[in-house]
Amino acid sequence: MRLDPEQEVRKEVAIHGAEWSSLHGGYFSDPASAAPLLEEVLRAIEVSCPGTVFDLGGGTGFLLGELAKRGFDNSLRLINIDCSGAQLGRSRGGGITTVHRSLSDFRRGEIAPGPKPCLFMMRSVLHYFGEKGLLPILKHLRGQARKGEHFIHQTACFESRREAECLNLLYRLMGTGKWYPAASALAERLESAGWEVRASLPAPTLLLEWRDLMRRYGFDRAGAARIRGKILEEFGEEEGLFEALPEGFRAYLRYRIYGCRAV
């Protein structure tokens, strides 16, 4: 059964909007954490000279806001697409257009018709589609791109299958179907979908404190203890991946930035 990304988003609506900026130590509103991804986007803009930059699942518009600070020509359209109205409601002008739509329903031609190329960017979104939905959404996005256009995304993935399985168990125990691949499996799916991986580099790791996760996914302290016990039983403790605490746990979501081009 394929995961419904909009349903996964709705589970987290309580932390959307104003709450989002403070979640996970402010990672998703921190310019330093965003800088490596934005540097790759800037390089792709310089090479491809797009007329439109789409932030797919752009949430509050933070990334596009940071991009706008680079002082582009006003002719470059910045478009934030997200299925959460609460997130889009925090997007503050700055020349950014918001589109309330799921990525599965995204049609480039309806929003940016015309001959000018587009550039697609994304951060921390693909896991919402689950294991079975990953390849279909990558193919769908490839279908919206013209040959040679760039897709720059930061996606959570792991060096080994075992590391990925550990975090996937954590998320299942928290009641979500989000899914994280090993880096090699992600690269294979990207290429199968028609994206050439031209660059792959590490991005800042996201520290997952159990209290933030409890707030985000709605479990209690007893649930945190059960989750900790199950992970330790199946995978043990590993520094920098999953660490037990006296009352809970912390985990680490590792990211890579992929510079892709439609082939």
Number of domains present in the structure of the chain: 1
Q: How confident is the model at residue 20 (pLDDT cuts 50, 70, 90)?
A: low
User: Do the Cβ atoms of 78 and 58 come closer than 8 Å?
Assistant: no
- Whether the pLDDT of residue 104 is over 70: the answer is yes
| Residue 143 located in a structural domain | yes
- CATH code: domain of residue 110: 3.40.50.150
pLDDT in tens, 179-238: 999 999 999 999 999 999 999 999 999 999 999 999 899 999 999 999 999 999 999 999
Kindly state the average pLDDT of the residues 7-15.
67
| Strand duo 195-209 + 249-262: pairing | antiparallel
| Residue 169 located in a structural domain | no
Q: Give the total residue count for the chain.
A: 263
Kindly state the average pLDDT of the residues 62-87.
86
| Residue 237 located in a structural domain | no
Prediction pTM value: 0.93
Residue 201: which of 152, 238, 263 has the closest Cα? 152
| Residue 72 located in a structural domain | yes
Three-state secondary structure of 60-106: CCHHHHHHHCCCCCCCCEEEEEECCHHHHCCCCCCCEEEEECCHHHC
Give residue 52's domain range. Answer: 5-159+179-205+255-262
Q: What is the pLDDT of residue 15?
A: 64
| Residue 173 located in a structural domain | no
| Residue 136 located in a structural domain | yes
Q: How confident is the model at residue 18 (pLDDT cuts 50, 70, 90)?
A: low
Q: What is the pLDDT of residue 160?
A: 97
| Residue 24 located in a structural domain | yes
Take residue 23 and report the two structure tokens written for it.
């979640």
| Residue 183 located in a structural domain | yes
